Structure 1
Amino acid sequence: MAKVKHNNFLDTVDEVITNATNAGVIHLHAEGDELNGRRITVNGKSLYHFGTTGYLGLEQDKRLKNAAINAIQKYGTQFPLSKTYISHPLYAPLEEKIFKMYEHPILITKNSTLGHLAVIPTAVREGDAVILDHQVHWSVQSATEVLKSKGVTVRMIRHSNMEMLEHYIKDLRNKVNKIWYMADGVYSMYGDFAPLQDLIELSQKYPQLHLYIDDVHGMSWRGKHGSGYVMSVLKKLPQNILLFGTLSKTFGASGAVLVCPDKKLHRKIKNFGGPLTFSAQLEPASVAAAIASADIHLSPEIYDLQSDLELKINYFNELLELTDLPLVHKNDSPVFYIGTGLPATGYNFVSKMMNAGFFVNLGLFPAVPVKNTGVRITISRHNELIDIKALVDAMSYYFPLAMEETYTNVSKIHHSFGIQKTEIKKVRDSKIDELNLECTTTIQQIDKEEWDTCFSGKGTFDWDGLNFIEKVFTNNNLPEHNWGFYYITIKDKEGKMVLAVSLTSALLKNDMLSNVKTSKIIEEMREEDPYYMTDIVLSSGSVFSEGAHLYLDSKHSLHLQSMRLFLDKLDQIKTQVGAKLIIIRDFEKTNSLNTFLHEQGFISIDMPDACELTNLYWNDEDEYLKSLSKRSKKHFRKEVKAFENYFTLSVVKNPTPAQVDYYYSLFEQVWSNNLGINTFKFPKKLFIEMGKDPKWEFLVLSLKVEVKNSDNAMGVMFCTNSGDTYIPSLIGMDYDQNEKFNIYRQLLYKTILRANALGFSKIDLGLSASFEKRKLGATLIQKLAYVQADDNFSLEALDWLRKD
């Protein structure tokens, strides 16, 4: 029944990236006639380069350059033929040298992305399962998508969460053959390492476990012969591990390398590995450069290069320890991440660093959660010690300025990343001192007239509505039926209301707005664990209310300061209740706060369209029909009017317990058939309280006795009102009879008639089934919610379930 419009993830990413591009911190262009690794020119300004992934600087080595030039002179710019048929003369020498580095069978691929596309669908067979680390590189995740068509189960765990990994292994081990865990050796954002020893112990405990490790960021700067971080830890590669390295990045050339100890699997991948079979091979220049680099890796020189880089990494770490800069993960890799928390702070800081003469990379959504925006700094051999010292001095100077200008502080950033540090005095906008914030946990402590001035007529969250909701969703047996309530008001020094909002903290399903297919999969899992993929969520309004829950006087000179004050309080409450997610809803698609909220660490998601009917100024059916389009009139006569005489409508107030029980059973049918908005089932207490409350009434639709020998209700609309607005809040129906008698459409029409008869000027028809409501005259209004999550795990895990 309910056709729900779901958020387009690409649209969200596009908006975030566009904001960063407009801020001038990404999608930049290097300029100049040459590059030397130490400096890079951007917008006419020469900057010290702290953004490369060529950690050893080999891409500028004369030996690699000369080898590439000579190869072009001898063999041409490319060898346009699949390597399956014949490889150009330089391939065999390269493969021999890379084999010496790893001492295991290897395959050279065009790049790591195509390599994963070649290897993963060949290595993972029907009857296997895959478990992805949440932060494994996009290229691995993308290659895994093709497995879905084979029926391969794919799951995702929180980053390096070995307890969660073991849970999935136990769940899958009797259902599948091999279980592949896919992870990075060195993670590209924070520079942290895969817990390799833990993974080896797990694979010994569970022989089905196989490991697929992408070690492209660990290559060259660690390990014997520069074979990478994973090899530096494991020394020898077990049969149950597939390892990817790169000939790009630190290796200084192009291409990637698969290391495969299983000779039989190695042959299968070589014989038919997708892009290995059908794609062009590496160009002679790239292979020649890789041979020159391999010679360096196989010589003692590689250890001198590694030591030189290690010295610079250690020096950078020593300097950082003398600062208050929020380093997210201390390690001895060449990748460092300085957290800024808010995107606005990240944009500001990167801009300041570029103006000061330093190029650093911005880390932003979706590579990291929006509120975990930061600056990724990479150390390479190109950087001199004097450059590193200058970088730290500049960061120490400009970081506090960036925080001050974006109204944040180190303590707040520590909180965003879960870093345990001493509290630091907050940076405040001085104008905030002109505002007074009050927060209470019951509507009883809020002046009714003052509250209703902001919210009357907007939904079930006027004073009476909230008093009703508080009564229902407290003192219940199940955790999902016990909510926390918070009411925030912000006034200026004259006592004028600038901002008001009602909030609830409640246990919600992560898939609440996912597609039906995803929710069906998760509901099957909830048969064993009813609280699987659920979290405490702090939201404006509640799952029982719809509408503009946030009142903001946008014309007030302090409205943005009020929003900052509100968001600070929101974060405090979130910590207090242990919420994983903040949701601020329901905003119209075009609103003045969009950019502001993005800069404060929120992403926008599309909600189902709101449906409102305002043309209630008619006296009879003919006048009502005049308000409908020609097509809607035809629909009305065929699908609504034609069934009207089958029914009787009664308005029930003060229902008996037996009636409440039956109406509740009709509601349960709708709830169980409507996964489009997947919520926990409301308790019967809600409907009992509706029957007692004078603002609620039940519109009960029954088939006439001559149509069906029964006086049982076929449908019921649970309605209330606020101001001049009539609100059909929930619905119950006999699903077995709906298709035959068009019960849903009849209930909608009878609700419209009832609202008109009572003299209301507007009907709030809610968020779902917009197509049906539009045909009866409703206006559709596009709505957004703004979301801030502790991490992207739930979003991405749900996406994988959707693809099952």
Structure 2
Amino acid sequence: MLKTRSVPIEMIRHNNLEMLEDKIKKYQHSKRRIWYMADGIYSMYGDYAPVKELMALSKKYPQLHFYFDDVHGMSWVGKNGTGYVLDQLGELPENVLLFGTLSKTFGASGAVLACSNPELYDKIKTFGGPLTFSAQLEPASVAAAMASAQIHLSPEIYDLQQELRERINYFNTCLSPTDLPLIDQNKSPVFYIGTGMPKTGYNFVNRLMREGFYVNLGIFPAVPVKNTGVRITISRHNQKEEIKGLVEAMEYHFPLALEDTQTNSERVFHAFKLEHKSKSKPQLSSKLNIEILNTIDQVDKKQWNRYMGGQGVYDWEGLQFLEEVFHENTQKEHNWLFRYVIIKDSNGIPILMTFVTLSLWKDDMLAQASISSAIEQERKENPYHLSSFVLSLGCLFTEGNHLYWDESHHSSKEARDGLLELLEKMEHQLGAKMTVLRDFGANTPWNDTLYGHGFFRVQMPNSCTVDLKEVDSMTGYIEQLSSRNRRHFRKDIQPFLELTQFDIISKANTAQIQGFKRLFSEVQKQNHGLNTFSFPDKLFERMNQNDLWEFIVLNPKGQPNTILGVMFCYSNQRDVYVPAFVGMDYNLLETYSTYRQLLYRTIERTLAIKIPKIDFGMTASFEKRKLGAKVHEKYAYLQTNDNFILEMIGVMEGQK
């Protein structure tokens, strides 16, 4: 409801008071009230909100008010079971709204709001949605609530709290000598045993269920994907022998669940940033030969092009070009780390082959264009606002199937799992905040495995290709288009062809290169559908020096010094023509139908040099489809260290 009223909503990292204060400073002179919303006891890990520190912050900033949800803190702690937050506060200040539930430890149903500000109390009583529109509780719930309230108001509540506290302490004592990854040890009745990956969590829960222990699985989006775990709540009805039995069952089944899902405790502890003393044995099979190479020069050229060539700008020659461009630059976003992974069987036959890069990404790269536009305003002051180093299949320059995988090989699954474990180790070693496996089709056989390993899927911009195998002329190509697309050509492209001239330039002069840079920069600033950092200036000089690159340049007829647009094109193994990027003068875009003309001239050029396929890349698929391109849905799988950035961008999308 606040989003629809344009009330600004900001995400704060978990219990991060420094970040909270920065946000308060941002709004302290423009907003009469700033509300901070938090749990008293957090429902997954059972950890606490820093209530006393927050109240100290409110003395410094009088606008600060609090909305505490203490449903997991009620009854088991505090005077008369009033809960954790009130136990910390002593008295309820007027700048606090305290919410609780009657349906958990209280043992009834319904909810409760405590408010000490008379004016705010009256507003809530008069205008609060639940009070205005909901019906009264049924008599049985009212009777249960009254009976529970009488217990809370009697000395019996303290005996019950003590009984529960003894069981909580006993559970902690039983867990202490084990190697189970208890995420937060405290005195709350909520415990969380980390399993890391979802597939391990499911395996562990099923094992415990077969032993007669029913526990909850904490999973995305309640927790980050890689922070899956078992959530256990202790009640005073659990007997000590049952508590001990649960710990013994977990201690026995935890390593078996890890083994079943090809992982180890070291990976789990690292996912939760916990110290792990003993080193686990690697899970990769000795039957597979895994090569990790630092440069394409170390990779056999013939072998790489056999399995990975003929797509995009990542044949052997293309990667040599990219390594040169994205190396030894002054700005950190222009320096990429390349790694090549080749997994072979015992006979030296490749089962899997790919390359990955570590590079700086804008966190909103795949977000809605409107979100990126808003974030770019903040980047005018801080260029690296919301940016993170990402370990990615392929790189930000390339598009296509970046992964060769022989699914028919008897060790294909082993090779796949080996790659995923290797990527996790590389992410740790290189300090990446996220791993992205990209350019998968909608029905990839990797889908279930990736979900089990803690990845989740997001849709990328569609990619486009043009097949020219059966076409020998541009006239023939236009004739094979649908009647609707032919009308588009006659109306939106053909009349403009007479207004322009074009050249194929393999070696541009200095003035032309500067013009190309300027036009490319215009496009990149406009294209927030796939929001990336700029490329280094030397990219264009290296293109100009490389025989595999050429420029399709469009000029107004009779004005060779005026560049309307340029397509930057790469020839891959004579198998595919790649118009990798485009530059355009937006002031003259509609006058000359520049983009559509460049698409047309690209097809014409590909036919002229007899290359059978065009990789037209991502974005603008609607325009490319009208010229006969085939559109392919593409998906990326993301594995993040935490949910914060994704949730924050989600909040921003909800406010648009």
TM-score when normalising by structure 2: 0.98
Find the residue that maps to 1:679 and give its secondary structure: coil
> Corresponding residue for 2:452?
599
Find the residue that maps to 2:564 and give its secondary structure: strand
Rounded Cα–Cα distance in structure 2 between residues aligned with 1:389 and 1:608: 52
> Corresponding residue for 2:233?
378
Code of the residue aligned with 1:598 in structure 2: it is Y
Report if aligned partners of 2:468, 2:607 keep a CA contact under 8 Å in 1.
no
Rounded Cα–Cα distance in structure 2 between residues aligned with 1:445 and 1:491: 16
Of residues 607-616 and 320-329 in structure 1, the stretch that sits farther from structure 2 once superposed is 607-616
Find the residue that maps to 2:533 and give its secondary structure: coil
Q: Render the CA deviation track for 1:305-340: whole Å, top value 9, x for unaligned.
A: 110000001000000012111111111111111111
Report deviation, 1:722.
1.3
> Corresponding residue for 2:385?
532
> Corresponding residue for 2:632?
781
Report if aligned partners of 1:409, 1:424 keep a CA contact under 8 Å in 2.
no
Rounded Cα–Cα distance in structure 1 between residues aligned with 2:65 and 2:223: 27
Rounded Cα–Cα distance in structure 2 between residues aligned with 1:381 and 1:284: 27
Which one of the candidate residues 176, 196, 201 is aligned to 2:56? 201
Q: Trace 1:394-793 onto structure 2 (pairs within 5 A).
A: 394-426=249-281, 428=283, 432-705=285-558, 711-723=561-573, 724-793=575-644
Identity %: 51
Rounded Cα–Cα distance in structure 1 between residues aligned with 2:568 and 2:578: 8
Greater RCO (CA < 8 Å, at least 6 residues apart):
1
Q: Render the CA deviation track for 1:597-634: whole Å, top value 9, x for unaligned.
A: 11111111111111011135323333112321111111
Q: Trace 1:136-535 onto structure 2 (pairs within 5 A).
A: 146-426=1-281, 428=283, 432-535=285-388
Find the residue that maps to 1:433 and give its secondary structure: coil
Aligned residues: 654
Rounded Cα–Cα distance in structure 1 between residues aligned with 2:16 and 2:353: 40
Report if aligned partners of 2:200, 2:261 keep a CA contact under 8 Å in 1.
yes
Q: Render the CA deviation track for 1:626-648: whole Å, top value 9, x for unaligned.
A: 32111111111111112111111
Rounded Cα–Cα distance in structure 1 between residues aligned with 2:282 and 2:81: 46
Find the residue that maps to 2:231 and give its secondary structure: strand
Rounded Cα–Cα distance in structure 2 between residues aligned with 1:454 and 1:259: 66
Code of the residue aligned with 1:615 in structure 2: it is L
Q: Render the CA deviation track for 1:658-683: whole Å, top value 9, x for unaligned.
A: 11111111111111111111111112
> Corresponding residue for 2:647?
796
Report deviation, 1:519.
0.9
Find the residue that maps to 1:154 and give its secondary structure: coil
Code of the residue aligned with 2:551 in structure 1: it is F
Q: Render the CA deviation track for 1:496-527: whole Å, top value 9, x for unaligned.
A: 01111111111110000100111122111112
Q: Render the CA deviation track for 1:362-403: whole Å, top value 9, x for unaligned.
A: 111111111111111111112111110111111111111111
Point out where structure 1 has 5 or more consecutive residues left out of the alignment.
Answer: 1-145
Rounded Cα–Cα distance in structure 2 between residues aligned with 1:438 and 1:423: 26
Code of the residue aligned with 2:5 in structure 1: it is K
Rounded Cα–Cα distance in structure 1 between residues aligned with 2:96 and 2:189: 25
Find the residue that maps to 1:434 and give its secondary structure: coil
Find the residue that maps to 1:803 and give its secondary structure: helix
Rounded Cα–Cα distance in structure 2 between residues aligned with 1:280 and 1:627: 66
Q: Render the CA deviation track for 1:204-234: whole Å, top value 9, x for unaligned.
A: 1111211111000111101101000101111
Instruction: Say what the alpha-carbon RMSD is for the aligned residues.
Output: 1.2
Report deviation, 1:303.
0.6
Rounded Cα–Cα distance in structure 2 between residues aligned with 1:731 and 1:746: 12
> Corresponding residue for 1:130?
none
Point out where structure 2 has 5 or more consecutive residues left out of the alignment.
Answer: none
Report if aligned partners of 1:344, 1:406 keep a CA contact under 8 Å in 2.
yes
Report if aligned partners of 1:442, 1:485 keep a CA contact under 8 Å in 2.
yes
Find the residue that maps to 1:249 and give its secondary structure: coil
Rounded Cα–Cα distance in structure 1 between residues aligned with 2:48 and 2:160: 21
Code of the residue aligned with 1:150 in structure 2: it is R
Rounded Cα–Cα distance in structure 2 between residues aligned with 1:281 and 1:455: 67
Rounded Cα–Cα distance in structure 2 between residues aligned with 1:433 and 1:156: 46
Code of the residue aligned with 2:614 in structure 1: it is I
Report deviation, 1:236.
1.1
Find the residue that maps to 1:713 and give its secondary structure: coil
Report if aligned partners of 1:404, 1:427 keep a CA contact under 8 Å in 2.
no
Of residues 355-364 and 281-290 in structure 1, the stretch that sits farther from structure 2 once superposed is 281-290
TM-score when normalising by structure 1: 0.80
Find the residue that maps to 2:11 and give its secondary structure: strand
Find the residue that maps to 1:155 and give its secondary structure: coil
Q: Which runs of 4+ in 1 moved over 3 A?
A: none
Report deviation, 1:177.
1.7
